[in-house]
Amino acid sequence: MALVLLTGGARSGKSRLAVELAAARRRPVVVVVTAEAADDEMAERIRRHQRERPPQWTTVEETLDLEGALARVPADSVVLVDCLSLWVANLLTRELPDEEVETRARSAAARAAARAAGAIAVTNEVGSGVVPANPLGRRYRDVLGRVNAIWARAADQAALVVAGRLLPLSAPEQVWSEDRGWTTS
């Protein structure tokens, strides 16, 4: 396992499955969390996620410099990034231009994909719902969609999580080529 990307709706089981995948590697695990406890409700969400992880795992809190956090994880550790959705929100609230967010996403995804011990990233799929009513909501949906695509291209495996179940996502070259046309297997 190099890089695995898990995407899906809120409360779909992505983080639980990411924990299970990381634990199955039987290596040290470092969890890079991107959430900020800006209010009581978010603080409780963070505590709930902490309780779901084995206590011997290391947690690194990094809301902005994801690539730097990944660089500091020991080479023998599996890294679990939870989550890209909040990371992108954090960057946008700091008024970074879309291009800068995407550049950071490419760098962080490349670093995660290059880890010999493996990496798992969790993100929300926000493009399947209603079109947000305000410009910031539409910008967030669009930027996160592009960031998710960047990470999916870097990933060895990507899956959509629905109701706690994985639906593998195929890379374009797995389903179409000029030589073969569309494939069904």
Q: 107 near 67, Cβ under 8 Å?
A: yes
Tokens representing residue 169 in the block: 């996502």
pLDDT tens per residue, range 150-167:
999 999 999 999 999 999
Residue numbers annotated as active site: 49
- How many domains are contained in the chain? 1
Q: Which domain, by its residues, includes 8? A: 3-182
Lowest mean pLDDT among 44-53, 60-69, 75-84, 171-180: 171-180
pLDDT tens per residue, range 129-151:
888 899 999 999 999 999 999 99
Residue range 10-23: mean pLDDT, rounded = 93
| CATH number of the domain residue 161 falls in | 3.40.50.300
Residue 126: count of CB within 10 angstroms of its CB: 20
Tell me the pLDDT of the chain averaged across its residues. Answer: 92
